Amino acid sequence: MANAQAVVGKPDQDFVEGNLVVRHSLSIRVAHWWVAVFFILAFLSGAALYSPRFFFLTNLFGGGYTARQLHPWFSVLFTLGFVPLFLRWVNQMAWTDSDANWVKNFKRYMRYEEIPDVGKFNAGQKLFFWAAVLGGLVLLLSGVVIWFPTSFPLWLRYLSYPLHEILFILFGIAIIYHIYITLFALGGTLRAMTRGTVTKNWASSHHPRWYDEVRRKG
């Protein structure tokens, strides 16, 4: 892997190497785990302030005061990591006809039936990406208002608190399934984000069109 990337002119991902396919470049994996870490930190410190049921989580951050101080900085660091991820992925996240077909076959996908004509990212991943971008933007903007409440008019604060909370809940649901899918449901998926590689069988099962493209390139 490391050697392959060092070869000048060779792409950093989307190529076959032995029995494996390189799915995510090292830089993308680093960015992913960067946002993952700060998402979890922001999520836990945020959950602590979301409900008294979860206030005990402030203990992870040195108490309520420090949790409140750290929470916005976690999200700033999250955003910093999300920018390169966004730039790298945005072109591949465009909606196509085959995505509409995937959505139609969502029930089959849930039953682990293979869906034909799926590129590097399936429609579910694309929707997750765009939901994260838009939702993240709303979280960020409402979060800035909550960060510096006295700098903003009252109506904007009245709007920001519940919006921030709604987005927190939606992200909570999203992250539960994101983790479930990669860690438990889809075997062989997690390694795409750790070592960066997947097996050829995985590639042709989950993303057949992407695998064909990669194979044709050689």
Q: Which residues bind another protein (CB under 8 A)?
A: 49-53, 55, 58, 63-65, 67-69, 110-112, 114, 146, 149-150, 154, 157-159, 161-162, 165-166, 168-169, 172-173, 176-177, 180, 184-188, 199, 201-202, 204-206
* Distance in Å, CB of 29 to another protein, minimum: 21
Contact 31, 80 (CB under 8 A): no
Nearer to another protein, 51 or 194 (CB): 51
Query: Which residue type, as a one-letter code, is found at position 21?
Result: V
Contact 12, 34 (CB under 8 A): no
Nearer to another protein, 85 or 203 (CB): 203
* Distance in Å, CB of 131 to another protein, minimum: 15
* Distance in Å, CB of 9 to another protein, minimum: 31
Distance CA 25, CA 32 (A): 11
Closest CA relative to residue 181, chosen from 190, 173, 170: 190
Nearer to another protein, 6 or 173 (CB): 173
Query: Which residue type, as a one-letter code, is found at position 46?
Result: G
Nearer to another protein, 64 or 84 (CB): 64
* Distance in Å, CB of 19 to another protein, minimum: 13
Nearer to another protein, 69 or 96 (CB): 69
* Distance in Å, CB of 104 to another protein, minimum: 20
